[in-house]
């Protein structure tokens, strides 16, 4: 999986195209991610002691990974890999050749 939790991403296709946000949660088996502030859906909430009336709340819904692109230094870029002299592998921006 090329995207990780906590990364800033840009939505590149779909209804929310052009919006950016931080990845809150990622689901590798489903190839989906929840992005902060993007793709809100209304969810019903049961009545509890803190909220006796219940009701509805807006929550972020998952987006497919193929609709997201890493966002670094104010531009969206694909992620590449580079090996260092000590044998470690680091992730780099394909556009700018900088490390993430």
Instruction: End-to-end CA distance of the chain: give it in Å, rounded.
Output: 15
Which domains, from first to last, does the chain contain? 8-49+56-73 (2.30.30.30)
CB 15 within 8 A of CB 83: no
The percent of residues in the chain predicted with pLDDT above 70, rounded, is 100
pTM over 0.85: no
Amino acid 79: pLDDT:
93
CB 33 within 8 A of CB 3: yes
Rounded-to-integer distance, Cα 61 and Cα 43, Å? 10
Question: Could you tell me whether strands 20-27 and 75-77 are parallel, antiparallel, or unpaired per DSSP bridges?
Answer: unpaired
Q: Which residues of the chain have pLDDT under 50?
A: none
């Amino acid at each position: 999986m090329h995207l990780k939790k906590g990364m800033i991403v840009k939505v590149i296709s779909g209804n929310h195209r052009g919006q950016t946000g931080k990845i809150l949660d990622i689901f590798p088996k489903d190839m989906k991610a929840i992005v902060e502030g993007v793709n809100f859906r209304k969810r019903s909430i049961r009545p509890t002691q803190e909220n006796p009336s219940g009701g509805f709340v807006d929550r972020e819904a998952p987006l497919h990974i193929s609709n997201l692109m890493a966002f670094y230094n104010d531009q969206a870029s694909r992620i590449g890999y580079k090996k260092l002299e000590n044998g470690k592998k680091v992730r780099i921006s394909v556009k700018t050749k900088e490390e993430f």
